[in-house]
Amino acid sequence: MGCAFPAQLIENTISFHGHACPGLMIGIRAAELALRELGAHDKPNLVAVVETDMCGVDAIQFLTGCTFGKGNLIHKDYGKMAFSFFHRPSNRGFRALLNPSLKIGPSEELRALISRISQAAATPEEQREIQVLRQRSQEAYLAADLDELFIRQPNTCPAPRPARILESLACEDCGEKTMESRTRRFGGRTLCIPCFLKIEQKI
């Protein structure tokens, strides 16, 4: 069965992100899966761990309410199309990996065209063709069966801890207040990360 979200909600997600694109559709479907499996009625207790920083993460923030600022959206920079969701009170959750054997992503044809565009060599006709192929790919993501679109796996780790309020220390180089867990020690001094990196690069 295709995407169960009302068309208006999809439109609102596109406005939040700023444009429609295949990546956003993947995020919309991942959010749909999370809400279906873990309960749309208890969004404040959801936690998402995303292994990519691409467009789709905006859909996850908008639709599940897991946001970077609240600390219930965690980015792991692994560059994978995988999203883990947790429901804290029930300790339930899963990891959803975009099914690599489902052939609805950018086709070879589209990849070849895009690589030509990045070489600034695409003709206006080819650019139109890219639009058509992208549109087709977006529609295919929305139409796909959720259980085929993602491979669902058990989570290998527990839900990340809720963010704690930690003490701030003044960096001994720039003087700016820095959360203790983000400070570094060097030469007997407590430093913020940028100051530490500046010194480290000189060595």
Rule CB under 5 A: which residues touch Zn ion?
21, 24, 55, 171, 173-174, 192, 195
Could you give the CA distance from residue 82 to residue 47 in angstroms, rounded to a whole number?
14
Q: Judged by CB, which is closer to Zn ion: 159, or 192?
A: 192
Q: Judged by CB, which is closer to Zn ion: 129, or 173?
A: 173
**Dihedral of alpha carbons 138, 7, 153, 62, sign:** positive
How many angstroms separate the Cα of 189 from the Cα of each of 177, 179, 181, 186, 192? 14, 15, 15, 5, 10
Q: Decide: 12 and 18 in contact? Cβ < 8 Å.
A: no
Would you call 128 exposed, middle or buried from its count of C-beta atoms within 10 A (0-12, 13-18, 19+)? exposed
Question: Least distance to Zn ion from the beta carbon of 194, Å?
Answer: 6
Question: Least distance to Zn ion from the beta carbon of 83, Å?
Answer: 16
Q: Judged by CB, which is closer to Zn ion: 30, or 38?
A: 30
Question: Least distance to Zn ion from the beta carbon of 24, Å?
Answer: 5
Question: Least distance to Zn ion from the beta carbon of 177, Å?
Answer: 10
Q: Judged by CB, which is closer to Zn ion: 27, or 93?
A: 27
